Amino acid sequence: MSGRLSQTVRVWPQYLMPKHALTRCAWWISNIQWPPFKNAFIRLFCRLFPVDLSEAEASNPSDYTHFNAFFTRSLKPDARPVASAQWVAPADGTLSQLGTLTGSNKNQLIQAKGLHYSLEALAGRTTGLDHYRNGQWITIYLAPYDYHRVHMPAGGRLLQATRLPGELFSVSDRTAAIIPKLYAKNERLVAEFAHEHTQFMVVMVAALMVAGIETVWDNSTERRPQAQARTTTPAGIELAKAQEMGRFHWGSTVIVITPPNTAPWRDDLQPGQTIRLGEALTAA
């Protein structure tokens, strides 16, 4: 059996499983506060995954109210130095893909080798995106053991935030290599910010077992599925570079998109590379 066919066979059950029901169940379990259960759950998770609690503000599993509080744990103030570059990594994770928007309309992102998707599909609209054409993008995958808060890649004022309904496929590399337009199919939050004389987009993509996407301007985890897209324009939300903008309740993926008049990504950034919040994405 070829490698791609073998991967397809392993992934196709995701089309059939009750993903939203399983995710609602995961949300319920992760919020159980009974100490014997939640402490055992957290300790088991730490044995299964390389979680470094020494960098967290609370390093003892018993200090957390429930598993969800542990999963969205905060870090010590000095745990992630912030680079002086204009653009920095918004989260801990692995660089999945990065590059320049390509194609005849300069609007195509790469999901995996041989798989592309459009900015319009990701953003859930066809208007108001021209200034991003020929810009650049970077995709960061957050593994279960990673820190799951998402921060600002640059300072900016929130222009609008759109919650889009969709599927809850896994966003692992294996799944991303098989399911076309995966990030544009899954539930997601699309946030756009004004930055100096331009603007940028941060997309938080939900996934299987991701029980909610929370933001600092709207702490509703929106346990869905939503029936339709919902756009809000909160006033007065100004966030500094590396300041928290939101968090995943369980893990997923972040995509940053900038227009063509911004500094290019560092030449040494490569797919598969581990990156930490606050590391420089650009040389300047």
Residue from 66, 148, 151, 195 carrying the catalytic annotation? 151
At 29, the pLDDT band (50, 70, 90 cuts) reads confident
Domain range for 251 is 93-275
115 and 182: one domain?
A: yes
pLDDT, tens digit (0-9, with 9 covering 90-100), for 146-203: 999 999 999 999 999 999 998 888 887 888 888 899 999 999 999 999 998 889 999 9
Q: What is the mean pLDDT of residues 196-225?
A: 80
149 and 59: one domain?
A: no
Is there a catalytic annotation at residue 92? yes
Residue from 66, 92, 146, 195 carrying the catalytic annotation? 92
51 and 113: one domain?
A: no
At 2, the pLDDT band (50, 70, 90 cuts) reads very low
**Is residue 203 domain-resident?**
yes
Count of Cβ atoms closer than 10 Å to residue 43 Cβ: 13
**What percent of the chain clears pLDDT 90, i.e. is strictly above it?**
69
62 and 203: one domain?
A: no
Q: How far is 91 from 149, CA to CA, in rounded Å?
A: 7
Pairing of strands 212-215, 244-249: antiparallel
**Is residue 161 domain-resident?**
yes
Q: What is the mean pLDDT of residues 256-266?
A: 95
> Looking at residue 8, what is its pLDDT?
55
Instruction: Name the domain count of the chain.
Output: 2
Is there a catalytic annotation at residue 173? no
| Coil vs helix vs strand at 57 | coil
Is there a catalytic annotation at residue 220? no
**Is residue 181 domain-resident?**
yes
Q: How far is 93 from 142, CA to CA, in rounded Å?
A: 5
